[in-house]
Amino acid sequence: MTNPAAKLSATLSSIDSIKSYLAGLVSAAFDGRGGVPVRLTYVGGEFAKAVGVTFEKHLMALAESDQVAVPHPRRKLAPFVGAYCKDIFAVTEGPPGVYFVSPLASAEGAAVGVPTPHASATLRFRRAVWAAFIRPLEGERRFLNLDKIGFSNAAEMPTEGSWREIEERFILGLAPNSPVDGVSLQSRIEEWARHAEIPISRLVVDAKPPRVPSRHLEQLLEIIDALPAPIAAEWSIPAAVLKHLRDAR
């Protein structure tokens, strides 16, 4: 039986597919935290758990097999994001060397790289959902992950996670910065949700107040980041401790 991580790894074989996957990870974490920027090391950890290897090892393998042309210095996550993801992420630096990312938005609040809504939708969809129904397919199939909202373009449906296919008839396929009728797009998303038997509530942003990151929790994460990966992977911290650090100011 094929390893799910290996199957997912096989779909992430181009810069565009990797960017789409990272966009889904960041959007899910950003929305889930009420709009708080996401620590880049968290993104790297989630990538490694899903794919089975670190981001750098995955990119090194692609480069060595001539599937992508990425210079060696840009094969780690932070340099890759800085070089190839400026159109989808805003990157900020906290303490030196500690980076945070959030979905990049234009002055009007629409995600950059995603066409701008011409008429407003009445529902506030997650960014990854909005993008999944707008961006062109370019010869592949499109799948939406309902566990960690994000989408992936691939020949076959990923096996790890709760994925649903978005058939081509539901996708607008517009170029970046093209005007979009938000009401019409919402209608397409709602029609697809009925077709796929998915509650629309799973596709929209929860109305949660923004949470200010805890200084104490950030200090703990910095300690974990400083540890060798094998040691950090063995750490187990009680949920009560994390909640206390999160709420402490």
Question: Given this model, what pLDDT does residue 104 score?
Answer: 72
User: Is residue 209 in a domain?
Assistant: no
Torsion sign over Cα 9, 14, 20, 25: positive
Cα–Cα distance, 4 to 103 (Å, whole number): 27
Question: Given this model, what pLDDT does residue 217 score?
Answer: 66
Torsion sign over Cα 80, 86, 88, 92: positive
Please tell me whether residues 174 and 232 are part of one structural domain. no
Question: Given this model, what pLDDT does residue 40 score?
Answer: 92
Please tell me whether residues 138 and 37 are part of one structural domain. yes
Please tell me whether residues 128 and 10 are part of one structural domain. yes
User: Is residue 207 in a domain?
Assistant: no
Instruction: Describe the strand order of the beta sheet including 89-93 as a list of residue ranges.
Output: 38-39, 99-103, 89-93
Look at residues 181, 202, 223 and tell me which one is the last residue of a structural domain. 202
Q: Are 114 and 179 in contact (CB under 8 A)?
A: no
- Strand 141-145 versus strand 99-103 pairing type: unpaired
Structure tokens at 18: 């990797």
Question: Given this model, what pLDDT does residue 53 score?
Answer: 92
User: Is residue 151 in a domain?
Assistant: yes
The per-residue pLDDT string of the chain (249 residues; one tens digit each, 9 = 90 and over) reads 457 778 888 888 899 889 888 988 888 888 777 778 888 999 999 899 888 899 999 999 999 999 889 899 899 999 999 999 888 888 887 777 788 888 875 323 334 444 444 444 567 788 888 888 888 887 889 999 988 888 888 889 888 888 999 999 998 887 766 677 777 788 889 999 999 999 988 888 764 544 555 566 677 777 776 667 667 667 777 777 767 766 665
In the chain, the number of structural domains is 2
Question: Given this model, what pLDDT does residue 159 score?
Answer: 83
User: Is residue 120 in a domain?
Assistant: yes
Please tell me whether residues 119 and 53 are part of one structural domain. yes
User: Is residue 42 in a domain?
Assistant: yes
Please tell me whether residues 48 and 115 are part of one structural domain. yes
Please tell me whether residues 173 and 232 are part of one structural domain. no
Cα–Cα distance, 142 to 109 (Å, whole number): 25
Please tell me whether residues 160 and 123 are part of one structural domain. yes
Burial class (CB in 10 A: 0-12, 13-18, 19+), 240: exposed
Please tell me whether residues 198 and 219 are part of one structural domain. no
Please tell me whether residues 179 and 232 are part of one structural domain. no
Question: Given this model, what pLDDT does residue 109 score?
Answer: 38
| Residue 51: CB atoms within 10 Å | 23
- The amino acid that residue 155 corresponds to is A
What is the extent of the structural domain holding 228?
A: 215-247
pTM: 0.49
User: Is residue 50 in a domain?
Assistant: yes
Q: Give the start-end residues of each E strand in 163-239.
A: 163-165, 180-181
User: Is residue 126 in a domain?
Assistant: yes
Contacts of 238 (CB under 8 A, 6+ apart): none
Please tell me whether residues 183 and 239 are part of one structural domain. no
Please tell me whether residues 60 and 131 are part of one structural domain. yes
Please tell me whether residues 41 and 75 are part of one structural domain. yes
User: Is residue 144 in a domain?
Assistant: yes
Q: Are 13 and 67 in contact (CB under 8 A)?
A: yes
